[in-house]
Amino acid sequence: MEAYQSGDRDAAGRLIDTASPALYRYLAIHSSDRRYADDLLQEVWLRIHRARHTYRPGEPVLPWLYAIARHVRIDGYRRREFERRESALEDAPEPVAPTSERAAGPDLEYLLGSLPDSQREVISLLKISGLSLEETARVTRSSVGSVKQKAHRAYEKLRTLLTEAPR
């Protein structure tokens, strides 16, 4: 990131290649449309480019990147909701039904979709993106205790859903 800040194009490419898969997973979890997640990822990289001067050398890069991604996701959600209300469109199309190629068991997207947004975000950052409690707290602008509480409540709800799920 420091090399990218100083104008190294190769460093920018390496950063994009390294961080894009994780950022895409984060955005896709919170989106029902893969193309929309692609659009959000593009917006994330535009904002990172514009805000690269705000990165403080020596600080962890991932929380900084995820904080930008989080703001892009929230702005995108607000923009979509505004457009929906303005155009008075019907609900979005039904999500694609699971194919027989998927492994048997509960659908991860369904399980995560049943959680409130704040809990889903914490679980995706902790378990899917692999951030630490402290990094997740920085990204979500909350305390470590709040992150632990949201994660605990999410685990409880997921346990309940999994025990009630037909086998």
Q: How many domains does the chain have?
A: 2
Segment 93-107 shows an average pLDDT of: 55
Mean pLDDT of the chain, nearest integer: 85
CA pair distance 144, 135, nearest whole angstrom: 9
Same domain, 2 and 51: yes
Global confidence as pTM: 0.58
Residues 22-49: tens digit of each pLDDT: 999 999 988 878 899 999 999 999 999 9
Asked if residue 126 and residue 65 are part of one domain, the reply reads no
What are the residue ranges of helices labelled H in 9-143? Answer: 9-29, 34-51, 61-87, 108-113, 117-123, 133-140
Q: What is the pLDDT of residue 99?
A: 55
CATH code: domain of residue 156: 1.10.10.10
Q: Are 106 and 92 in the same domain?
A: no
Is there a single domain that holds both residue 125 and residue 84? Answer: no
Residue range 108-153, pLDDT digits in tens: 788 888 889 899 999 989 988 888 999 999 989 999 999 999 999 9
Q: What is the pLDDT of residue 100?
A: 52
